[in-house]
A = this chain, B = another copy of it.
Amino acid sequence: MAENKKKVEAITSMDVDFAQWYTDVVKKAELIDYTSVKGCMVIKPAGYAIWELIQKQLDDRFKETGVENVYLPMFIPESLLQKEKDHVEGFAPEVAWVTHGGLNPLQERLCVRPTSETLFCDFYKNDIQSYRDLPKVYNQWCSVVRWEKETRPFLRSREFLWQEGHTAHATAEDAEARTIQMLNVYADFCEQVLAIPVIKGRKTDKEKFAGAEATYTIEALMHDGKALQSGTSHNFGDGFAKAFGIQFTDKDNTLKYVHQTSWGMTTRLIGAIIMVHGDDNGLVLPPKVAPTQVMIVPIMQKKEGVLEKAAELKTRLASFGNGIRVKVDDSDKSPGWKFSEQEMRGIPLRVEIGPKDIEAGKCIICRRDNGEKVEVALDALEETVASLLEQIQVDMLERARTHRDEHTYVATSMEELSEILDTKPGFVKAMWCGNQDCEDSIKEKYSATSRCMPFEQEQISDVCVCCGKPAKKMVYWGRAY
């Protein structure tokens, strides 16, 4: 029993200490484990299965837009990393360097890719000759390394898993269109699959990607009122193409530089799921990324026929429609323990079935997201479960949207901005003059950053919240992960 207890013992309340609550959840829902490799984590089966569902559904959406997957080396020779000036400045301070191969020192040291723009450019330089070769719309699923000082599971680690799309186009318009297209794929994926509403917008120059002309972002609000950048899409213009000499012969028979984009999403999304949907009983998974969607818990399972009935219901659910992901917990723990475990792991639905239920031809279904219990006739089990899973997906998005909207404020002065950030954390909408000094000042004074200049602009006031000069843009500000 000691072992069972370990799993279901109370976790820190999120209102008491959100950071500790997060750590408790990732450990007790068995998503990750720490390792002897500082700043790196083990993603355990319960965590990796979420990532597999994210990968599958995101990859399907990519392929619908014509994306092809490839794989490029994990190493970047130092001279290659240095070819684009802004890019190397942004990344060189935080890469891991390989200096020896086997027993010998390398002639040129290699960094472990922190991102692969330079490798794709080096590849495209030879692969692209003619307008007929364009566009190239390639993506890879891999791990990358950034030598972070402070790390937290899923949110910031020295190695993380992601996808990175890298495209090349004949015109600036095509590149911009793909940049926005992928941002929309990301936003739609977050809302429809992860049940996380996002703000779409453009990063300020201060916050954009090293080497990009424009960086677009989707920003989500966590339960504690902090923002999480959840996906980014960059338009490089022809900057990398000029640095690497990526030219093609166009239809008019002249040599032109390609226009490029890149876009990425990472295992950080699992952190977002935890912090948007979780509660004091643990993880709460949206059905579309729940490795197990239904846990059947037999009551008085030693009574004749109970385990058989549970197994029968499992088979029925597993073969319904496209297949519901279902398990039976037939371990020798008590039902109470099993309930707590199912809740900790965030499994969307629990089906309780005991001898009396069987006699009455019914069962109890309990929702993880809101705790509601319903009695359901066994004949109607499949339809009810399928429709509840759909409903949960919808309700979770709606609840997250309400939370986000209730924690989005407006500030027209530095005093207001300060008060909001200190007393009721969330997004703060405020006007900005476009000058980086004001951004720096807000960051320094309130530890808040510009999250994005949203596509949906509002005219809150005419002047910059910081300097009082004429305002150019409405910006979402916030403290962020």
Contacts and interface: CB of A to CB of B under 8 A. Distances in A.
A40 interface: yes
B36 A122 contact: yes
Given A35-B73, A42-B70, A42-B72, 5 more contacts: A33-B127, A35-B122, A44-B70, A48-B68, A74-B112
A103 interface: yes
Interface pairs A-B: 4 shortest CB-CB: A40-B73, A45-B68, A101-B147, A97-B100
Interface stretch (A11-19, A88-96, A178-186, A466-474): A88-96
Contacts of A412: none
Nearest to A144: B74
Given A42-B72, A97-B99, A123-B42, A77 B36 contact: yes
A89 to B, nearest CB: 13
A165 B51 CA distance: 18
A418 interface: no
A99 B138 CA distance: 32
Contacts of A72: 35, 42-43
B73 A37 contact: yes
Interface residues of A, number: 55
A76 interface: yes
A49 B67 CA distance: 12
B48 A70 contact: yes
Interface in A61-86: 68-77, 80
A472 to B, nearest CB: 35
Nearest to A291: B68
A356 interface: no
A99 B96 CA distance: 8
A134 B183 CA distance: 44
Contact of A36 (B3, B80, B98): B80
A223 to B, nearest CB: 26
Contacts of A103: 93
A101 B94 CA distance: 7
Given A130-B3, A147-B102, A73 B142 contact: no
Nearest to A100: B97
Interface in A29-55: 33, 35-37, 40-45, 48-49, 51-52
